[in-house]
Structures are given as structure tokens and as C-alpha cells.
Homo-oligomer: A and B are copies of this chain.
Amino acid sequence: MPHADIRALAFDIFGTVVDWYGSIAAEVARAGLAADGGRFALDWRAGYQPAMQQVRSGALPWTNIDGLHRRILDDILGARGLALPEADVAALNRVWHRLDPWPDSAAGLARLKQRFVLATLSNGNLSLLVDLARHGGLPFDCVLSAELFNHYKPNPEVYLGAARLLDLAPGQVMMVAAHPSDLRAAARCGLRTAYVRRPLEKGPGGVPEPFTAGEFDITAEDFADLAQQLGCRAGPDNQESPP
């Protein structure tokens, strides 16, 4: 059996399991905002790394992703001269709690769950991840978040903390992500790595982060391919129904 030592899979979420670009673009269009939805999504996401860096550097005290998303959103609305009632801004900020999964995510997770413990391992806060799992019918066994460790990926505390909570050695945990930088940080902590291609993560014109062939333990086209490569048979569809 391939990778027989792996006991748990830890999933990056934004872009790897759910389609933030498409979901946000659609919501901005529905909201009738005078903005290009795709551009709006890209700008929002572009503020994400700098905002987390402010937390890492200590310039900001610990602030969860809901809080960081709101700070970025306020900047974007301000820069575009869009004035919305507070309730509308708060509701828009919650779009990150109802992002749609990629078409293969729920079924692929259900198949992987037959053999592995499935955990989220995201910078998203716990309540956001719970909402995403319920929204998309994603059958995770547990929700692990940077919030539990007061550190954001790619800080090692997050990867090592996940292995500790799962009561596994780092080498028994495989990080699954569409982002080479996330996987490289996981590998430095001793985790195994699976890269999943998500060519549309940043929209039709987006360019994925480059990586070297053979750099990760697995390179997969989607979650069905990942399951195949990990030796999970395509069994009866046991995915949860969305509530």
C-alpha cells in the first residue's frame, strides 16, 4: 500500500478545498456593488499575506482571519469610494464563511476518509472553517486552525501543533495544499506533502506559484486523483449531505 505510514491528511482550505475567487466574484456581482467581482476578490485576497505578516511581526496583536478580512475589506471599499451600511459590510465579510468547494472536494474527501483522519489546517478561524464544512458538506474529522496555536502558517507552530493534537509524529501527517510555500514549510517540520493543482484558484488569468517537478511526495490533479494515488478505492459515495 503506498504511503502506508501516513495516518492523517491536513488540508489547506482557501484555494485548495474551496474556490474563494469564484465564490467572492459571484457574491460581489449579486450584491450589485459597482466593482468587478473578480478584481474585488483578487484585491481582497492580496491583502491577506500582508495582514498576517502584521500579526507575525507583532505590529498587530493576535487577530483572527475574520478580523483581518474585515480590515482589508474596509480598505478596499474606501479605496473604491464604496460606502455601505455597516450591516452590509459585516454580511459581505462573512462571504468567507460560505465559499463553495471545488466540484471534486466533497466526494474526494469522503473517499479519503475511509482510510485517513481528515483535518483542516488553515489560517481561517475555527468558526469560519466549521461554516465552510457545513456549507459544502465536507466530511472532515476535525477542524484544526492556526487560531488554536496563535500562529499563522507558515510558522512551524501550526504544523507541529497539528501533529501533536492528532497524537502523531510529523511524518505520519501529510499536508495537502495547492500552494508550494505551504507545503515547503510543512516539509521543513517533517510532514509529508501532497500538491494539488487548482489552476483556476486566482481566476481565468491566474498564475499558480511555481514549483519543481518531484519536489513533493505527491502531485495530484484533484482530490479524486489524490485518493487514487493514496490507494483509496472509489467506494460507495458516503459524503455527508449539506445541512
Contacts and interface: CB of A to CB of B under 8 A. Distances in A.
Interface of A: 66, 113-115, 117, 125-127, 129-130, 133-134, 139, 141-143, 147-148, 165-168, 238, 240-241, 243
Contacts of A139: 240
Contacts of A133: 141
Contacts of A240: 139, 238, 240
- Identical subunits present: 2
Contacts of A166: 126-127, 130
Nearest to A127: B167
A141 B243 CA distance: 11
A83 B17 CA distance: 49
Given A66-B167, A139-B240, 11 more contacts: A113-B243, A114-B243, A115-B243, A117-B134, A125-B165, A125-B167, A126-B166, A127-B167, A134-B141, A238-B240, A238-B241
24 contacts: A66-B167, A113-B243, A114-B243, A115-B243, A117-B134, A125-B165, A125-B167, A126-B166, A126-B167, A127-B165, A127-B166, A127-B167, A129-B142, A130-B141, A130-B166, A133-B141, A134-B141, A139-B240, A142-B143, A143-B143, A147-B165, A148-B148, A148-B165, A238-B241
A145 to B, nearest CB: 8
A125 B167 CA distance: 9
A32 to B, nearest CB: 28
Contacts of A127: 165-168
A117 B130 contact: yes
Contacts of A167: 66, 125-127
Nearest to A131: B117
A28 to B, nearest CB: 23
A67 to B, nearest CB: 11
Contacts of A117: 130, 134
Nearest to A240: B240
A168 B241 CA distance: 24
Contacts of A168: 127
A142 B165 contact: no
A83 B15 CA distance: 53
Contacts of A165: 125-127, 147-148
A243 B166 CA distance: 18
